C-alpha cells in the first residue's frame, strides 16, 4: 500500500444542482497533452496504427511521472495465433504453470474447499468468446463438465441481495462465482445444454418465456430507448413507480447482429455473474458500496421484437440516430437475455457541460474511487474500461453516501448526484479462488486507437500487466481514475464560475491529484492516502 516508490436518461430526471461555486476548469499545463481529434468518444474501436509495444514495462505515464518497475510476477503468456476467440479455461494462477488456451483444469475437493464446496458445483467448463475463468485446479479435458450437487446456496451464506425496486423481483444469495467453477469432471456429449440450463437457472426459469410475460402492455407503453451498443439495445421503463433500465441482448442466433456474432449462453453467463457480484456489494457488511449499478432481475425471452419496442427504437433513430440494425430482423424463435438494472441516470460524457461546480466533479471522483476500492478489496476487481460513458449520474436528495472499507464506514458528500459504474465487459473479478476476466491479449484493434486519452489507457494497461489479463493489477484502476480526472479538468465546463477562494482551492487540489495519482498502486491506496480524499 501507499504511494509508489520514486445508458442515457431524460434530463428531467436529473434536474439542476444548487452548488454555487465553480466555472470552466482550465487545462493543467503540467498534465497530459491534449489529444487531438476525438472529443471523448465512448467507442473502444479505432483503425489507426498501434503506437505501443507489447509486454513493455517502465513506460513514463501520461502525467510524465517516472515510476520505477515494481517487484512482482512478470509472467508472459505465449498466445496461439489465428484464433478469433479465446476459450473459457481453467489454469493455475498461483505458483502453478500457465496452461494454453486449449488446456483446462478441474478443481479437487480439498479441506479448504469443503466448507463451501456447494458454491462450486453447478457449472460446466465452457468455451467462451474472450471471457475466461481460471482456478487453482488440475488439468482436465475441454469437453468435461462439473457434476452438480443438491446443496442449497443458503447453507453457506445468509447474505442476500434485496430488490432495489418495489416490483416483485426475486432475491439472490451472496455469491454466484460457483457457476463458473468445476468440482468434479465427467465426460458429457452436450455442453451447450448445460450452459442454457445454468442461464435459465439464473433467470428462475425452466426455459424461455414469451416477451409478453416479461413485458406486460403497461410496461411496454412506458418504454423509451436510451442507449445502444453492438450487444443490443437499452430501454427505460417503469417498474411500478420506479424507473428501470432494460438491456436486451440477442443470443444463440446464427445471423449477424449489428455486424457481430450473437453471444451464446456460455458467453452471456459471466456477464450475468459479474453484474450480480458487483450489485451484491451494496449489501455486504465489511466491504460495501452502492457505486455499481444494481441488477434487479434477469430473464430469457423468445420471440419477435414487440411493436411498441420497435416504435421506441424508431423514435430514438429519428431523433438521435442509430448505428444498430433495426430489431425487426429477428425471427419468432429468436432468444434474448433481458437484464433489468436500476435506473442509473445520464453518463458523464453527456453531462460534461451540465454539472454545477468543481465540487460536484470532486464528489463524482470520490464516489468512483471509493467504489473501486471496495471492489478491489472484496473481489480483486479491475474495471479495465472505465471511460466516461460508463459512469452514470443521477439526481439524489441524499446529502451523503456511505461506503464501508475493511469494516470502517465513511461518508462522501453527494452535491446532489449519485454515481453508478456500468459495463463489465472487460472487467476482472476474483472470489474464492475463481478468476473471471476478459482475455483481450490478441484483440489488436482495441490497442490501436488514437485521438483520445482513453485509447492510450488500453495500451498502458497492457504494458502494466505484460499482456497477461488473468493477473491482478489494481494499478489499472488508477489509470482510469487519472483518465477521468483528465476529463474533468480539460473537457468539462461548469455552470458556476471558479471565482471563490474555496473553488480555486478545489481546482488546485484536483490538479494536484492529476499530477500525483499515478504514483499510487491502487484505488484503495488513493482513497486511503491521497490528500484529495482526506
Q: Are 474 and 521 in contact (CB under 8 A)?
A: yes
Place of cell 505501443: 52
Contact call for residues 233 and 305 (beta carbons, < 8 A): no
What's the CA angle centered on 293, arms 288 and 299, to 5 degrees? Answer: 120
Closest CA to 268 of 298, 302, 305: 298
Joined grid coordinates for residue 62: 501520461
Rounded Cα–Cα distance for residues 11 and 9 (Å): 6
Catalytic residue among 385, 439, 486, 525: 385
Query: 3-state class of 185 per DSSP?
Result: strand
Please provide the distance, in angstroms rounded to a whole number, between the alpha carbons at the two ends of the chain: 16
Residues 6+ apart with CB under 8 A from 257: 232, 250, 325, 329
What residues contact residue 111 under an 8 Å CB cut-off, 6+ apart? none
Assess whether 385 carries a catalytic annotation.
Answer: yes
φ, ψ for residue 289, nearest 5 deg: -155, 150
* Helix ranges, 4-50 (H): none
- Helices marked H in 93-171: 111-114
Enumerate the β-bridge partners of residue 494. Answer: 355
What CA–CA distance (Å, rounded) separates 103 from 119?
A: 23
Q: What is the rounded distance in angstroms from the CA atom of residue 186 to the CA atom of residue 382?
A: 33
Strand order in the sheet with 131-134: 131-134, 434-438, 429-431
* d(C-alpha 502, C-alpha 331), whole Å: 60
Say how far apart CA 162 and CA 177 lie, in whole Å. Answer: 19
Structural contact between residues 249 and 233, judged by C-beta atoms closer than 8 angstroms: no
d(CA 378, CA 380): 6
252-281 b/e (C-beta count within 10 Å ≥ 16 → b):
bbeeebbeeebbbbbbbbbbbbbbbbbbbb
- Is 247 annotated among the ligand-binding residues? yes
CA 500 – CA 502 distance, rounded (Å): 5
* Adjacent-strand bridge partners of 237: 244
Which of the 8 DSSP states describes residue 254? S
- In terms of Cα–Cα distance, which of 449, 234, 251 is closest to 324? 234
Half-sphere exposure of 495 (CA within 13 A, CB side): 10
As annotated, the binding site for ATP includes 247
Binding-site residues, please? 247
Q: Which residues are catalytic?
A: 385
Amino acid at each position: 500500500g501507499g504511494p509508489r516508490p520514486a445508458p442515457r436518461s431524460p434530463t428531467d430526471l436529473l434536474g439542476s444542482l444548487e452548488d454555487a461555486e465553480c466555472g470552466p476548469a482550465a487545462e493543467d499545463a503540467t498534465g497530459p497533452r491534449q489529444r487531438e481529434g476525438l472529443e471523448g468518444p465512448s467507442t473502444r474501436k479505432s483503425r489507426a496504427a498501434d503506437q505501443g509495444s507489447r509486454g513493455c514495462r517502465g513506460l513514463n505515464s501520461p502525467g510524465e511521472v517516472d515510476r520505477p518497475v515494481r517487484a512482482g510476477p512478470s509472467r508472459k503468456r505465449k498466445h496461439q495465433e489465428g484464433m478469433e476467440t479465446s476459450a473459457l479455461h481453467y489454469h493455475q494462477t498461483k505458483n502453478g504453470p500457465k496452461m494454453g488456451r486449449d488446456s483446462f483444469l478441474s478443481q479437487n475437493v480439498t479441506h479448504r474447499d469443503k466448507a463451501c464446496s456447494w458454491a462450486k458445483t453447478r457449472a460446466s467448463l465452457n468455451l467462451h468468446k474472450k471471457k475466461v475463468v481460471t482456478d487453482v485446479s488440475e488439468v482436465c479435458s475441454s469437453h468435461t463438465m462439473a457434476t452438480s450437487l443438491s446443496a442449497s446456496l443458503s447453507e453457506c451464506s445468509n447474505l442476500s441481495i434485496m430488490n432495489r425496486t418495489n416490483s416483485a423481483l426475486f432475491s439472490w444469495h451472496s455469491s454466484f462465482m460457483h457457476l463458473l467453477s468445476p468440482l468434479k469432471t465427467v465426460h458429457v456429449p452436450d455442453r451447450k445444454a448445460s450452459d442454457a440450463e445454468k442461464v435459465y437457472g439464473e433467470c428462475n426459469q425452466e426455459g424461455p418465456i414469451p416477451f409478453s410475460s416479461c413485458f406486460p402492455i403497461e410496461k411496454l407503453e412506458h418504454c423509451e430507448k436510451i442507449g445502444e451498443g453492438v450487444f443490443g439495445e437499452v430501454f427505460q421503463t417503469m417498474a411500478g413507480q420506479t424507473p428501470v433500465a432494460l438491456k436486451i441482448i440477442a443470443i444463440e442466433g446464427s445471423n449477424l447482429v449489428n455486424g457481430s456474432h450473437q453471444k451464446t449462453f456460455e458467453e452471456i453467463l459471466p456477464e450475468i455473474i459479474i453484474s450480480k457480484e458487483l450489485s451484491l456489494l451494496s449489501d455486504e457488511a465489511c466491504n460495501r458500496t452502492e457505486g455499481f449499478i444494481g441488477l434487479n432481475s434477469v430473464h430469457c425471452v423468445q420471440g419477435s421484437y414487440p411493436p411498441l419496442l420497435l416504435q421506441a427504437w424508431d423514435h430514438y433513430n429519428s431523433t438521435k440516430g442509430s448505428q444498430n440494425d433495426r430489431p425487426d430482423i429477428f425471427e419468432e424463435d429468436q432468444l434474448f437475455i433481458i437484464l433489468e438494472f436500476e435506473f442509473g441516470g445520464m453518463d458523464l460524457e453527456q453531462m460534461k457541460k451540465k454539472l454545477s461546480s468543481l465540487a460536484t466533479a470532486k464528489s463524482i471522483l470520490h464516489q468512483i474511487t471509493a467504489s473501486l476500492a471496495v471492489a478491489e478489496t472484496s473481489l480483486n476487481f479491475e474495471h479495465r474500461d472505465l471511460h466516461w460513458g460508463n459512469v452514470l449520474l443521477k439526481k439524489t436528495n441524499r446529502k451523503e453516501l456511505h461506503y464501508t472499507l475493511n469494516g470502517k464506514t465513511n461518508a462522501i458528500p453527494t452535491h446532489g448526484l449519485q454515481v453508478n459504474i456500468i459495463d463489465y465487459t472487460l472487467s476482472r473479478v476474483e472470489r474464492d479462488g475463481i478468476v473471471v476476466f476478459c482475455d483481450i491479449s490478441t484483440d489488436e484493434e482495441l490497442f490501436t486507437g488514437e485521438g483520445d486519452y482513453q485509447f492510450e489507457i488500453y495500451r498502458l494497461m497492457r504494458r502494466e500487466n505484460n499482456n497477461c489479463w488473468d493477473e491482478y493489477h489494481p494499478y489499472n484502476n488508477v489509470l482510469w481514475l487519472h483518465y477521468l480526472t483528465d476529463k474533468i479538468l480539460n473537457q468539462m465546463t461548469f455552470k458556476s464560475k471558479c471565482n471563490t477562494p474555496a473553488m480555486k482551492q478545489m481546482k488546485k487540489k484536483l490538479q494536484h491529484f492529476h499530477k500525483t495519482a499515478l504514483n499510487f498502486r491502487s484505488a484503495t491506496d488513493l482513497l486511503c492516502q491521497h490528500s484529495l480524499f482526506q
